[in-house]
Amino acid sequence: MNGLTVGHRFIANYVKHNKVLFRLIVELEVEGWGAYIFDRRNISEKNKEPIRAYYESVSSPEQGMHSLEIRLAWLLGRDVLPICPLVWVETPG
């Protein structure tokens, strides 16, 4: 897989009013690529863990990013992309 190791990630945050509401992650796992959306809207001192709102097994990081952006638009109740430009950051595994 082009020298990438398990744990290699692409991460984007959906931010509103300086608060991360959703975190999108495409990660290389042992079985292949996984695409996740974590809902962080209810993060607080009592509730520190985000909710996994979506998961999909994908064939490539590009497919995962595209799929997550479409799913995020659906979660936010919007039919047209882009919601706002998402910046994807690559992190090594």
Read off the pLDDT of residues 32-81 as tens digits, 9 standing for 90 and up.
999 999 999 988 889 889 999 999 999 999 999 999 999 998 888 865 55
Are 81 and 73 in contact by the 8 Å Cβ rule? The answer is: yes
Question: What values do phi and psi take at 50, rounded to 5?
Answer: -75, 160
Sign of CA dihedral 68, 73, 79, 84: negative
3-state secondary structure of 13: strand
Q: Where are the domains of the chain?
A: 9-91
In the structure, what pLDDT confidence band is assigned to residue 4 with cuts at 50, 70 and 90? confident
HSE-CB at 59 with a 13 A cutoff on CA atoms is 0
pTM of the entire predicted model: 0.86
Distance of CA 42 to the CA centre of its chain: 17
